[in-house]
Amino acid sequence: MVAQRKLVSEGSAIAKALEYSLKRWEALTRYLDDGHVPIDNNWVENQIRPWAIGRSNGLFAGSLRAGQRAAAIMSLLRSAQLNGHEPHAYLKDVLTRLPTHRASDIATLLPHRWQPTVALG
């Protein structure tokens, strides 16, 4: 890709596409290092679209930061739901674990890796 970039005209659409890809190479190839990561996120984007469309409602959350927090929480809960978890049980378990959870293991609390530690009921 680097060699191809040298062959195209500066400022062309192809050059911009190659530069975009090269700048994000680590993220674009992340799925090679972790078999749980899909090659693209189209399925997830389609599933969370209803939530994303409503993000303009964040304008009425009181502040930009409050809207951003609400969007992050809604995305997390929807991701939990899409991974087959009951959102309330997921959030309750994760929030209970956070104070004593090792920062280096935080990825285990993401919805696609989460395993409940207590009987949910």
CA angle 67, 54, 56 (to 5 degrees): 50
Would residue 7 count as lying in a domain?
A: yes
Q: For 11-22, what is the mean pLDDT? A: 93
Place of tokens 């395993």: 115
User: What distance lies between CA 41 and its chain's CA centroid?
Assistant: 9
Would residue 27 count as lying in a domain?
A: yes
Residue 25, SS3 per DSSP: helix
CB atoms within 10 A of CB 50: 9
Q: Residue 15: pLDDT band by 50, 70, 90 thresholds? A: very high
Cα–Cα distance, 112 to 85 (Å, whole number): 9
Would residue 30 count as lying in a domain?
A: yes
Would residue 31 count as lying in a domain?
A: yes
Which tens digit of pLDDT belongs to each residue from 80-118? 998 999 999 999 999 999 999 999 999 999 999 999 876
